[in-house]
Amino acid sequence: MLYCKDCQRLVEGPVCRFCRNTKLRVPLDADFCMVAELGFQEAQMLVELFDDNGIVNTQRSVYGAGITVKLGANLDRIRVYVPYNRFEEATKLKEAFFDGEAVLLPD
């Protein structure tokens, strides 16, 4: 696994399939990696789960704050990021929490 700094995602090398970036590098423990993209409410549940498990996380709106205000938070999509050294644990928690439902990262 390599890390695309532009997307903040873990990708298979040598080219990022999301942005075509070729300057990928080995992930560092502190690199924030996208673990999920979810609807606003699901994202809040996941964040709570990570908080409960002591996993530092950040969230970013896909559409940006301006759109969120316009359309309402319920229509927004939220990307949740965790540090690389907690990524695997976070992924397992996420999968267990959503019970194997289709909570897939978009291509």
Q: Contact residues for Zn ion (CB under 5 A)? A: 4, 6-7, 16, 18-19, 21
Q: In terms of Cα–Cα distance, which of 61, 57, 63, 66 is closest to 87?
A: 57
- Looking at beta carbons only, is 2 or 103 nearer to Zn ion? 2
Q: How far apart are CA 15 and CA 74, in angstroms?
A: 34
Question: Least separation, in Å, of the C-beta of 16 and Zn ion?
Answer: 3
Quick one: 15 or 67, whose CB is closer to Zn ion?
Answer: 15
Reported as type and span, the H/E element at residue 61 is: strand 58-61
Q: Are the CB atoms for 97 and 35 separated by under 8 Å?
A: no
d(CA 56, CA 67): 26
C-beta of 61: minimal distance to Zn ion in Å? 19
Closer Cβ to Zn ion, 18 or 40, answer by number: 18
Q: How far apart are CA 67 and CA 63, in angstroms?
A: 6
Q: How far is the CB of 48 from Zn ion (least distance, A)?
A: 28
User: Rounded to the nearest whole angstrom, what is the least distance from the CB of residue 85 to Zn ion in the complex?
Assistant: 20
Q: Which is nearer to Zn ion, 37 or 89 (CB)?
A: 37
